[in-house]
Amino acid sequence: MAEPTLILRGIEIHKQALDGPAQEALVAVLREVVRQAPLFTPVTPRGKPMSVRMTSAGKYGWVTDRKGYRYEPRHPDGQPWPPIPDEVLTLWRDLVSAERLPDCCLVNVYREGARMGMHQDRDEADFGWPVLSVSLGDSALFRVGNTTRGGKTESVWLESGDVAVMGGAARLAYHGIDRIRPGSSGLLKGGGRINLTLRVVD
Residue 86 contacts by C-beta under 8 Å, 6 or more apart in sequence? none
Predicted pLDDT at 200: 98
* Residues 156/13, Cβ–Cβ less than 8 Å: yes
pLDDT tens for each residue of the chain, 202 residues long: 678 899 999 999 999 999 999 999 999 999 999 999 999 999 999 999 999 999 999 999 999 999 999 999 999 999 999 999 999 999 999 999 999 999 999 999 999 999 999 999 999 999 999 999 999 999 999 999 999 999 999 999 999 999 999 999 999 999 999 999 999 999 999 999 999 999 999 9
Task: Convert 89-104 to b/e letters by CB count within 10 Å (16 or more is b).
Answer: bebbeebbeeeeebbb
Q: How far apart are CA 171 and CA 168, in angstroms?
A: 5
Rg of the Cα trace of the chain? Answer: 16
Q: How far apart are CA 59 and CA 81, in angstroms?
A: 7
Predicted pLDDT at 2: 77
For 142, list phi and psi in degrees, rounded to 5: -95, 120
pTM of the shown model:
0.96
Q: How far apart are CA 45 and CA 53, in angstroms?
A: 16
40 vs 2, 25, 95, CA distance in Å?
34, 23, 29
Domains of the chain: residue spans and CATH: 6-199 (2.60.120.590)
Predicted pLDDT at 28: 97
- The alpha helices in the chain, defined as continuous H runs, are 20-36, 86-95
